[in-house]
Amino acid sequence: MSMRKTPKLAPLLAVALLAIGSVGVAGIAVAQAPTVSKALAKPLKAAQDAQAKKDWRGALAELDKADAIASKSAYDQYLISEMRGFSYVRLNNYAEAGRNLEAGLNSGFLAQDDVPARVRALSQINYQTKNYGKAIEYGNRAIKGGYADAELYTLVGQAYYVQGDFKGTHKFMDNYVADQIRRGQTPKKQSLELILSSCVKLKDDDCTTGALERLVKYYPSPEYWQNIMYSLFRAPDRDDKVLFNTFRLAADVDALKRGEDYTEMAQLAIEQGSPGEAVSVLEKGFEKNIFADQREKDKNQRLLDLAKKSAATDQAALTKLATETGAAKTGGADVGLGKGYLSYGEYDKAAAAIQRGITKGGLNDKSEATLLLGISQLKGGNKDDAIKTFNTIKADEKYGRLASLWAIHAQS
């Protein structure tokens, strides 16, 4: 994503028009004190007439004549600057327009009601002319004054970015987005992408991950999910159970793109006692024509045949296991039964069995069981219950981040 997108400058024209709004159409008589010096009345009137005819260069020539008069007052100089600024805007000479409109702002004669629009315009003009420091200065002035809009916040963030201040970009935009979220607003995608880009430039993995998580929360897409899953797969010290549940999430958010990912997930599913899921993921891979060459297709066909055979045996055992779990004093057998139901898409039965197991207690890994309960609830259509379940394990060292991502996925 390019951070050099130029903001729209259409508002500048309206601002420039306001800048000389106190000058009468019929002459140089001014609506309120102070007044134009007598010596400048003729060249200023000529400049105004030229502007009325859209003769911007002619207007500038007359303003040069006015400026050359030694006896002009500070107010005369203010009017000259304002009218020059207006003409330069019309000529798309934003560097000179900015210099003159800034002079008008600093003169003390600009009406207070016109200051907010002028400050915003000067931030935009300075961005356009690549004077990023001043764009930031005027943008922050507007923000502090309470008259900045969303476009101006983005412009300031971009100004920090294009001048290479990535820490400044991140701090500024992160505070802005955090404030929007606190007020119950949805941050713009462009703001979140700007934060992500600054994190990448800073080579900060935690920052990048956090930015991606916010993007998938508000603007979920397989591309963003792929980047998050990549960071999860790179995490150290993960066991096969965590890895398999990571693959479950990747599959659910359509972030599996390589044939080897489908193969590895299927192998883990078989090893973790969920051959039904191995069958599902491999069949999906074949449907999407994900396996690149004949050798890979043959390999995964053999794996699919094995998974189907294991699934047939496993399904036959589920009925027997269901009759045995009732007498068990601890919940391990119930959770195992729930895993079996989950493997074959019987989500309501899976959720009920896993919940019984958690209630009974005595589990070797309660966090995994709770995660599987949330997955079963989500896939069974009970989104609200699933989110509550995922949120109960967010602090867990092994499954916390994965649970948070499942919760984000459920919310989207």
Q: Which of 8-17, 114-123, 235-244, 304-313 has the lowest mean pLDDT?
A: 8-17
User: Per-domain residue ranges for the chain?
Assistant: 10-222, 223-411
Q: Is the pLDDT of residue 167 over 80?
A: yes
Tokens of 120: 């915003």
Judge whether 10-222 and 223-411 match in fold: yes
Helix (H) or strand (E) holding 371: helix 366-379
Name the CATH code of domain 10-222 (choices 1.10.101.10, 1.20.1370.20, 1.25.40.10, 1.10.150.20): 1.25.40.10
* Residue 412 confidence (pLDDT): 82
Q: Is the pLDDT of residue 8 over 90?
A: no
Crossing angle between the packed helical segments 205-218 and 222-233, to the nearest 10 degrees:
140
In terms of Cβ atoms closer than 10 Å to its own Cβ (0-12, 13-18, 19+), residue 210 is middle
Q: How many C-beta atoms lie closer than 10 Å to residue 332's C-beta?
A: 18
User: What CA–CA distance (Å, rounded) separates 273 from 46?
Assistant: 89
76 with 92: CB under 8 angstroms? no
- Give the residue-averaged pLDDT of 271-295: 94
Q: What is the pLDDT confidence band of residue 35, given thresholds at 50, 70 and 90? A: confident
* Residue 275 confidence (pLDDT): 95
347 with 376: CB under 8 angstroms? yes
Please write the tens of the pLDDT for every residue from 203-227: 998 899 999 999 999 999 989 999 9
Mean pLDDT score of the chain: 90
User: What CA–CA distance (Å, rounded) separates 207 from 170?
Assistant: 9
User: What CA–CA distance (Å, rounded) separates 98 from 120?
Assistant: 11
Q: What is the pLDDT confidence band of residue 21, given thresholds at 50, 70 and 90? A: very low
27 with 52: CB under 8 angstroms? no
Please write the tens of the pLDDT for every residue from 352-393: 999 999 999 999 899 999 999 999 999 999 999 999 999 999
CATH superfamily entry for domain 223-411 = Tetratricopeptide repeat domain (1.25.40.10)
Q: Could you write out the DSSP letters of every residue in 65-119?
A: HHHT-TT--HHHHHHHHHHHHHHHHHTT-HHHHHHHHHHHHHTS-S-GGGHHHHH
Which residue, among 360, 11, 8, 408, has the nearest Cα to 213 in the 3D structure? 408
